[in-house]
Structure 1
Amino acid sequence: MMAGTDVVTISESEFEKFRDFFYRRTGILFTQSKRYYVDKRLLQRISAAGMESFEQYFMRLRRDAGEEIEQLINLFTVNETYFYREENQFGGLANHILPELTAHLAPGSRIRIWSLPCSTGEEPYSIALYLLENWPEIENYEVELLASDIDTRALSAARAGIYDARALHRLPRDVVRRYFVKLGEDQFRLSNTIRQAVSFSRVNASDPREMRAFEQIDVIFCRNMLIYFDDRARRRTVEAFYKSLHDGGFVCLGHSESMSRISPLFRVRPFPGAVVYQKAGG
């Protein structure tokens, strides 16, 4: 709505209207505790789009399924991450999950690992680096690394593979030396070999049609995304994971997330230092 001083503000009903619209598009549900965060960014987009009121901007959103909605999604998604975050799960992958999965596979078989949301690339690239450094069998199998996110800006940064020192602070120095080129005082570029090993794509995890494009996956890393969803969106996403996975495939969630509160489709598999979830019946 318009204030008397021509300052655009967001009313309670407008906040709820936008919240419902954004939820239907992304599965992300903003609570009242996020009100200031939402208003600030929404007003930023209204101004950038040259609109004079929320109503005018919202009409554009309803008509426009393209660039403006993409700008909004990029603005509202969170991309705070770094290399080797929650490293214990990478250890579980190399020391337990992959040996279990490959026990009955012939050399040369394909293994598909999917990182969602991949943000600016630190997680999928961490998987690649960790396996190269810690899984001796990697040369005996065709490891396919997939990475997806809803944020197109984050995906562009991921493909570029340029990071500051803070993003690399958990990596061993010899790993940084072998796989990164220093560009300046505080910038490093990941080697082409590692960047080309990961296939990036834009995916909306709350859209079953987009999720159906991914199948025969062995391991899914989905860490700290479901905490932004409500119960319905979580169940829908987990059901999509179930359909995407091979029998016996695994899902790695964030340390504060639990599959047991979402769906009975997966069973808990505790490994030293990490708890993961396996597709039931595997």
Structure 2
Amino acid sequence: MSHPAIGQEDFHKFREFFYRKTGILFEDSKRYFVDKRLIERMEATGSDSFRSYFTMLRFQASSEELQALTNAMTVNETYFFRESYQFDCLVNSLLDEVVATKPPKKPVRIWSLPCSTGEEPYSIVIYLLEHWAKLDRFDVEIFASDIDTQVLQAAAKGVFSPRSVQHLPAALLRKYFTRLANGNYKIDEQVSDSIDFSRVNLLDPLDTRHFRDIDVVFCRNLLIYFDDTSRRAAAEIFYNAMSPGGFICLGHSESMSRISDLFRVRKFKDAIVYQKPL
């Protein structure tokens, strides 16, 4: 069976369009990955050429296909307690600073983006329950967002493979999960009910305008897919969404200092993070 052909000009047209919509820029080195996903979506929609598919993609009123393609183009590699030193920093240092200046009855707000299939925000909840002594004294709101609707559906279900939970201590696995007949693990409702999941395109002001007074942001391994312009825009969006004195945690290969001067570097015992000035 022959596949619809995607030429170099087609690739460049799509790359520019997808960049404008999501802020994600595909380099030429990603050509094989992009072509493969495009062809899969073209076949799924019955498009006989890139031109017909691209026309539908741009002008479809519901944007249903754009969302399906976005789901296919985003990479979701995650597991529980990934880069756990930042969770240690959260409970050992960041939250104590946050609540020291928190007005009475104001909730602590934590935002995980991109949250993928939920391992990161669920890890945050478990860390708070296990390691933050002041949890019973403060109301904590946890938001988890992603541009991919499929991973959000999976996150809300809270069912994980043995690989996803392999780094969890056995005692925590028994405490917060139920093992299913097929070998997967279902997270306890006490954890899953504490998270507000939502579909968010970080660079769409309509998606991010509701996020305000955020005290801690986890945005790990997203900005590596952006170019400099999109990274600066993302930094401004986070800055506007965060409380004065709030913290942002990036992936180990990312540096806010190379993106924007809006935040200052804070070096704690467990991790280096970035802070919105008070």
Matched, 1:21 2:17: yes
Name the CA shift for 1:62/1:109 in 2 (closer, same or farther; >3 Å): closer
- What amino acid sits opposite 1:21 in the alignment? F
Matched, 1:111 2:108: yes
- What amino acid sits opposite 1:103 in the alignment? A
When the two chains are superposed, the root-mean-square deviation of aligned CA atoms in Å is: 1.2
Q: Please, what TM-score do these two structures have when normalized by structure 1?
A: 0.96
Q: Which moved more, 1:269-278 or 1:195-204?
A: 269-278
Deviations 1:236-275 (A, max 9, x none): 0110000000101110000000001100000000111311
Secondary structure, in 3 states, of the residue corresponding to 1:184? coil
Contact 2:3 2:39 in 1 (8 A): no
Cα distance in 2 for partners of 1:7, 1:187 equals 36
**By how many angstroms is 1:50 displaced?**
0.3
Contact 1:112 1:143 in 2 (8 A): yes
Name the CA shift for 1:71/1:138 in 2 (closer, same or farther; >3 Å): same
**By how many angstroms is 1:234 displaced?**
0.6
Q: Please show how residues 89-128 of structure 1 align to structure 2 within 5 Å.
A: 89-105=86-102, 108-128=105-125
Match of 1:76 among 68, 73, 78: 73
The answer for unaligned runs of 5 or more in structure 1 is none
Matched, 1:182 2:193: no
Counterpart of 1:215 in structure 2 is: 212
Secondary structure, in 3 states, of the residue corresponding to 1:114? strand
Counterpart of 2:259 in structure 1 is: 262
Q: How many correspondences in the alignment?
A: 277
- What amino acid sits opposite 2:59 in the alignment? R
Matched, 1:204 2:198: no
Deviations 1:79-116 (A, max 9, x none): 11000000000010000000111123466541000000
Matched, 1:11 2:2: no
The answer for unaligned runs of 5 or more in structure 2 is none
Cα distance in 1 for partners of 2:190, 2:104 equals 22
Counterpart of 1:230 in structure 2 is: 227
Segments of 4+ moved more than 2 angstroms:
104-109
Deviations 1:117-141 (A, max 9, x none): 0000000000000110011110100
Cα distance in 1 for partners of 2:148, 2:64 equals 12
Counterpart of 1:57 in structure 2 is: 53
Deviations 1:45-68 (A, max 9, x none): 011110110001011011115211
Secondary structure, in 3 states, of the residue corresponding to 2:218? strand
- What amino acid sits opposite 2:12 in the alignment? E
Q: Which moved more, 1:179-188 or 1:237-246?
A: 179-188
Cα distance in 1 for partners of 2:262, 2:74 equals 28
Q: Please, what TM-score do these two structures have when normalized by structure 2?
A: 0.97
- What amino acid sits opposite 1:240 in the alignment? I
